[in-house]
Amino acid sequence: MKFSPTFCLSEGFVIANDVDNKRCYLLVHQAKRLNSPCIMVVNHDASCIPTLQILSDGKKEALFYDRILCDVPCSGDGTLRKNIDVWKKWTTSNSLHLHGLQLRIAVRGVEQLAVGGRMVYSTCSLNPIEDEAIIAALLEKSEGTLELADSSADLPGLKWMPGVSSWKLMTKEGQWFSDWSEVPNNRRTQIRPTMFPPTDPEKLASMHLERCMRILPHHQNTGGFFVAVLVKKAPMPWNKRFPKLRKEVSSGAAEQTGDSLAASTPAEAPCFPERVEVEGEGPEKEASKRASSAQETAAKPNSVCGPPPMKRMKLFGYKEDPFVFLTEDDPVFTTIQSFYNLSPDFPKLNVLTRTHEGKKRHLYMVSKELRNVLLNNSERMKVINTGVKVWCRNSDGEEFGCAFRLAQEGIYTLQPYIRSRIIGVSVEDIKVLLTQENPFLSKLEDDAHAQAKKLVMGSIVLKYIPNPSKPEEPQCPIQLCGWRGKTSIRAFVPRNERLHYLRMLGVEVFRDKQGQGHKEGDGEKGGKEEVEDEVEKVTEEEMEAGNEGDLDLKNGEENGSSEPKADSSNQGASG
């Protein structure tokens, strides 16, 4: 799913998290296809993921989410059909070892869920200890603040079985337990009470565990999955004690009601303010006041002191490149503004780079809300990647007015702010641009040719606007990043996206399997093979040059002096 070409920066955003650093880079690779400025990938243990803060009306508030997908680690016994390793590694102990982690992740998820929001808990396991047991324990712990939602009407075509309300637990020795009271003392360190269903029939009935969805492999030729949808009706009960403590710590701060403060700052999160300014006193006076207060407290060994100062969070693993936001008066914008004739409402403050020093090679763009998150959580959050690439540097770009060319990734985000360097193209023009390596300007239709001749050499936007009177043509706008050379023009579009657009235009680009065996000299290639070879030739050159590749600005071709491309597994961290 891609952004609509009539895109305007959304107020919403998605934060995707994975505990495995390598999987985070895979997640970045998959998310890049969305070309969205509203996605952030972070690397944390979900069971203790930090509470993020945002600036609202000049005050810092805890960030809560209105939707959370809690896809927890599981034994994977529902993937037996595709995962051969499960047959060798599965034991009855797997679910016992994972149950505690799954419950901690689910608890942390509902803590960060906004009141009225929804959290989906899912696994690829059919073991009740990993499924209904977690939901039952969560509902019991919530004391009525959570409700299991009935989502059957939302998925009318999905075949699923209702959740179970009774189950037994088996050990690796073959012992069965149906209740916590049956578990011997020597087993109680491994087997926990939350692994069993509630013993009270009324409490069990009020949970409505039948609303959980069990997707069985043989019903729809899929894997086995478990899905439960939880709705948060009020702040979690263990969060309600926190406002009183916070009020004592932040004396002189703006007063808030207990419920509103509970909804903005979870109790288990280390979110005591590092600095509290009392109204009417400056920071120096306040600092000396805190120092004297600390000395007085130290002099009284039996005194009751407040909470300890918040420690700086330690972020382990590979240190990512920084996210550095540009200022409105940054020299980079001088030539960009004039060359592309950016509109006055272009959000310059939302543009960032991944380096503090040296030349800026890539410029990225994020939404206003993600900028707020990044600026207020730099020390508590390990960000792997965020934003969408909108400009790339050309080594010889200054010679023709601008050192930065447009990037296809961010063309739909950036184009609404560009008021020049745009060429309107037809379907036939797009076919030529996507199938030929470096066509002459004369190969474009008259209208596009005339527009291109008016522009100086450099980066351009190739824009197709659908014609309702021609229903046989694509009825969605298409925007491509291109380069206007001295006598030629070309599109800079990644291979997969190039093939996607060609299919939209009715051009078949895949070579027939029967024709793959033709040897050189067997005759001319067929139409499909010729298109495929031409596309491969174009995209291979672009891949070699990469986004940081140099361009021969006189004819629009890459000159072979491109910089070595970074490892694709680290693209999320490259600057």
Domain boundary pick from 214, 234, 254: 234
The answer to whether 259 is annotated as binding is no
Computed over its alpha carbons, how large is the radius of gyration of the chain? 29
350 and 491 within one domain: yes
**Residue ranges of the alpha helices (H) in 362-512?**
368-376, 411-414, 427-435, 446-453, 495-504
H-helix or E-strand containing 214?
Answer: strand 213-215
pTM, to two decimals: 0.76
Are the C-beta atoms of 532 and 510 separated by less than 8 Å? Answer: yes
- Which domain, by its residues, includes 196? 65-234
Claim to verify: residue 374 and residue 482 sit in the same structural domain? yes
**196 and 72 share one domain:** yes
The CATH number given to whatever domain includes residue 179 is 3.40.50.150
CA distance 332 to 328: 10
Residues 209 and 254 in one domain: no
Is residue 418, in this structure, part of any structural domain at all?
yes
Residue 215 sits in the same domain as residue 245? no
Asked whether residue 14 is domain-assigned, the answer is no
439 found inside a domain = yes
Instruction: Give the active site residue among 124, 271, 392, 402.
Output: 124
Structural domain contains residue 332? yes
- Give the per-residue pLDDT at 535: 52
Residues 349, 460 within the same domain: yes
Residue partners of 312: CB distance under 8 A and separation at least 6: 379
Indicate the residue among 234, 251, 284 that finishes a domain.
234
**Residue 296 identity:** E
CA–CA gap between residue 422 and residue 476 (Å, rounded): 17
Q: Does residue 194 share a domain with residue 144?
A: yes
Please count the CA atoms within 13 angstroms of the CA of 166 that sit on its side-chain side. 6
Q: Does residue 218 sit within a domain?
A: yes
For residue 25, tell me if it sits in a domain.
no
State how many domains the chain has: 3
Asked if residue 255 and residue 229 are part of one domain, the reply reads no
Same domain (yes/no): 425, 551? yes
Contact predicate 138/182, CB 8 Å = no
**pLDDT score at 522:** 40
Do 143 and 71 lie in one domain? The reply is yes
Q: Is residue 44 part of a domain?
A: no
**One digit per residue, pLDDT tens: the chain, 575 residues?**
344 444 467 889 999 999 999 999 999 999 999 999 999 999 999 999 999 999 998 899 999 999 999 999 999 999 999 999 999 999 999 999 999 999 999 999 999 999 999 999 999 999 999 999 999 999 999 999 999 999 999 989 999 999 999 999 999 899 999 999 999 999 999 999 999 999 999 999 999 999 999 999 999 999 999 999 999 999 999 876 444 333 333 333 333 333 332 333 333 433 333 333 333 344 444 444 444 454 444 444 444 445 555 555 555 556 788 999 999 999 999 999 999 999 999 999 999 999 888 888 999 999 999 999 999 998 889 999 999 999 999 876 567 778 999 999 999 999 999 999 999 999 999 999 999 989 999 999 999 999 999 999 999 999 999 999 999 999 999 999 999 999 999 999 999 899 999 999 988 876 543 344 444 344 334 445 555 555 555 555 555 444 443 433 343 333 333 333 333 333 333 33
211 and 247, same domain (yes or no): no
392 included as an active-site residue: no
**Contacts with 80 (C-beta within 8 Å, 6 or more apart), sequence order:** 86, 87, 217, 224
Report the C-alpha gap between 6 and 416 in whole angstroms.
8
Q: Is residue 7 part of a domain?
A: no
Q: Are residues 245 and 224 in the same domain?
A: no
Q: Which two tokens stand for residue 43?
A: 């690397």
- Residue 66, annotated ligand binder? no
- Alpha carbons 205 and 436: distance in angstroms, whole number: 66
The reply to whether 71 sits in an annotated binding site is: yes
Q: Which amino acid is at 236?
A: M
